[in-house]
A and B are shown apart, each in its own frame.
Chain A
Amino acid sequence: MSDTHNAPVIAADGTPLKARLARALFRRKLDAFLLVSPLLVFLLVFFLAPIGWFLSKGFHDDLFSTEMPNTSAVLADWDGTTEPTEAHYAALVTDLVETRKTRTIGKVATRVNRELSGSRSLFTSTARKAAKMEAPFKDALIKTKKDWGEIAVWQAMKAASRTFTIGYYANALDRRQLADGSVVAQPEERRIHVKLLIRTLEISFQVTLYCLLLGYPIAYLLATLPNRTSNLLMILVLLPFWTSILVRTTAWIAMLQSQGVLNDVFVFLGVTPDEARFSLIYNKLGTLIAMTHILLPFMVLPLYSVMKGIPPSYVRAAKSLGATNWTAFWRVYAPQTVPGIGAGAILVFIVAIGYYITPALVGGQDGQMISNFIDFHMRRSLNWNLAAALGTVLLLVVLTLYWVYDRVVGIDNMKLG
């Protein structure tokens, strides 16, 4: 009896059952993995890899060190404070001649110009003459442009020659890195990114709040009305959801601009004189109104699906036990909708934080958000490194908030339907 208890269970072909089971499970897992692998590869190739590559641009910039190899080599040994020697100047001239030939001097000049504004033409104009220069190069360069004697130019080049740099992150947080590596605050009139980030969070928070205030009654109505009516109302929620963001945003422009529908009505009703129409758009108010409208369905839909699942008998039971309408709602109904509020709020907030088309169109000057500046650096200033750093900062902020949310509310409490 005890023998059979301890002996391994053998399958029909003589192998232990445990091994067979493990093999079968492994095959099942492999099948499952093969099924999801196309999606996995797709995500890796088209989502994670480009994002990772782009994020790396925020701290990795090898433009100067690749294009100006000789100068970078001598700068690596330079302490950043003593007078540069003839060897430094000679290396610089060699690189200038070469970059002029390969037409990359402009990229180098733009890169150094980010460290020291106004130095761009120093590089491009000197490079045009560099091929004809003769030793001693120090005198030749300083004779061409006396700025080459300035230590600040060399410090800027040293900063640009760092392949791994925290300079862009420093800039994204309104700081800058000095030649000796220390980080200090930007001058007052160039500090913008931190304030913008705070404004972005503030706008997103407000939009979330307004969406909740407007969306909760709508969802409640949809969940409690008879099906026929609620389906009809649901279409009214979904129809704008299916309409292009651009169309909805420009519709708000037509509504809110100073010669727009709303102001015309106000003037007609005598609420305001014709000369002093309200500024409802091209400012923060415009951004808030348009974004709240556009993001409302993200709040209504999760709330609706959660409310739909709450049995009406609970509230009836509360009332039959003597609760007032308000108590029944607040103590019995509302707590059950918390998962819906959590889901709606986090959806709206996270979508809002990265919004940029709507603020770009209706935000004017004080309704701009951080994404508008990422866009600016991508498309206008072509400073993709700074755009990458700003993007990473935004991503980290979102992840931190998500973590905080998880600790406070608990992500398991979220319910999308």
Chain B
Amino acid sequence: MKLKQLAFGVATAITAVSAAQAAESITVVSWGGAYTKSQVEAYHKPWMAETGNTIISEDYNGGLSEVKSQVEAGNVKWNVLDVEYSDAVRGCDEGLLEPIDHSILPAAPDGTAAIDDFIEGALPECAVSNIVWSTIFAYDTTKTSGVEGIADFFDLEKFPGKRGIRKNPKANLEMALMADGVAAGDVYDMLETPEGIDRAFAKLDSIKSEVVWWEAGAQPPQLLADGEVIMTTAYNGRIFNAAAGEGQPFEVNWDGQILDFDLWVIPKGAPNMEATLDFIAFSTDTQRLADQASWIAYGPARKSSGALVGLYNDGKTEMAPHMPTAEANLGNALVNNFEFWADNQDELNERFNAWLAL
């Protein structure tokens, strides 16, 4: 009897192993923390359950350097990665990414083709957007109150104390100009001129002595929680998760927010192309994008997903007002101009680094 059971067990195990071998495995790379968790819950788990394939989830800190190394060495390990817009365009132009045929994306439930269902600009040649996120500034309500807008972030007299800022010129120059009274619509025109850049750096200079620089998205909520800074710029979803998920007394100020897409891309020559494309199509359908919004406060890149966005996974917080794309939050908002950054990031990074280090 026992022997029979054992034999049965072994047989089942063997079947399970061979089934697992038939299924494919892909590596999906993203930014870690609460954001990766939202993707694992909303995309990875349902896809693995449906197809029987497995996903290896890895974290990185942005940029195309790993992709460049993998592609140039001819040893591509990653299947899908989550990038910023400028990297999606640049990587595509430089032949580091696979072009994606957007006709594989499923249509919206009402039959609208995917190409019309995604927000304008969300489908560049080599990428598929999943979310709209935003760089905002936030503070701890138990320590700071009466903050009106982005100008206060740069006002050390009114709000003395340390500020957290991302160690990158992107978004900071724009915010500095908006804090200096430039209308959102004029920001990039102004940054095209040397005077505009000088003005933005001068504004950053006024708070430089009090800045704590962060690099990973998980750092700003930590800096706020530790009391290392009194205000910080951050990705809006991270602050929301710390507030709604962990009960931290953080508040987002939407004035001067900078909207941006995050996109899926495929490194050139990635293995398991079929499963990879299947994952991208699956994870960016209307329902999946709406599901992700219940894990983190980033707006779905499809218009049809908006109506399906419901409650946060605590079962009581309404998500809609926390979306960067909510009407009330768009009062003074700017959409990141990827073309400007693709053109000028080398020079501005250099200048930013020089400004920072000296």
Contacts and interface: CB of A to CB of B under 8 A. Distances in A.
Interface of A: 102-107, 109-110, 113-114, 117-121, 124, 189-192, 195-196, 257-259, 282, 364-366, 368, 373, 376, 378-383
B209 to A, nearest CB: 10
Given A106-B92, A192-B358, A259-B227, A381 B343 contact: no
A152 to B, nearest CB: 14
Interface stretch (B62-70, B173-181, B252-260): B62-70
Given A118-B347, A364-B213, A192 B357 contact: yes
Contacts of A105: 93
B133 to A, nearest CB: 20
A380 B354 contact: no
Contact of A258 (B95, B228, B346, B357): B228
B65 A379 contact: yes
B350 interface: yes
Interface in B30-73: 63-65, 68
Contacts of B110: none
Contact of A117 (B64, B339, B344): B344
A378 B64 CA distance: 10
B357 A107 contact: no
Contact of A383 (B90, B213, B344, B346): B346
- Is chain B's binding surface mostly helix, strand, loop or mixed? helix
B75 interface: no
B7 interface: no
Most A C-beta atoms less than 10 A away, residue of B91, B95, B347, B350? B350
- Listed from nearest, the 9 A-B pairs whose CB atoms lie closest are A106-B93, A117-B347, A106-B94, A192-B354, A103-B95, A379-B65, A120-B343, A118-B343, A121-B343
B226 interface: yes
Contact of B350 (A110, A192, A257, A378): A192
Interface in B320-358: 339, 342-347, 349-351, 353-358
Contact of B355 (A106, A189, A378): A189
B163 to A, nearest CB: 13
A379 B67 CA distance: 10
Contacts, number: 95
Nearest to B64: A382
B349 A380 contact: yes
Nearest to A107: B94
Interface string B103-132: 000000000000000000000000000000
Contacts of B227: 258-259
Contact of B354 (A102, A110, A124, A189): A189
Nearest to A365: B356
Most B C-beta atoms less than 10 A away, residue of A121, A191, A282? A121
Given A382-B64, A382-B68, A190 B93 contact: no
A151 to B, nearest CB: 19
Contact of B63 (A189, A259, A380): A380
Given A105-B93, A106-B91, A381-B346, 11 more contacts: A103-B92, A110-B346, A118-B347, A121-B342, A121-B343, A190-B350, A195-B358, A257-B226, A282-B213, A365-B208, A381-B349
B218 interface: no
B94 A113 contact: no
Nearest to B63: A380
A261 to B, nearest CB: 13
Nearest to A121: B343
B275 interface: no
Contact of B357 (A120, A121, A196, A382): A196
Contacts of B343: 113, 117-121
Nearest to A104: B95
Contacts of A189: 201, 351, 354-355
A110 B63 contact: no
Contacts of A378: 65
Contacts of A192: 350, 353-354, 357-358
A282 B68 contact: no
A40 B356 CA distance: 43
A113 B354 contact: no
B139 to A, nearest CB: 17
Nearest to B227: A259
B242 interface: no
Interface in B224-246: 226-228
Nearest to B94: A106
Nearest to B355: A189
A383 B228 CA distance: 34
Contacts of A113: 343, 346
21 contacts: A102-B95, A103-B92, A103-B94, A104-B95, A106-B91, A106-B95, A119-B343, A121-B339, A121-B343, A124-B342, A196-B357, A257-B228, A258-B162, A259-B226, A282-B213, A365-B356, A368-B356, A373-B353, A381-B349, A382-B68, A383-B346
A106 B71 CA distance: 15
Given A103-B95, A109-B93, A365 B350 contact: no
A376 B357 CA distance: 13
A118 B68 contact: no
Contacts of B91: 106
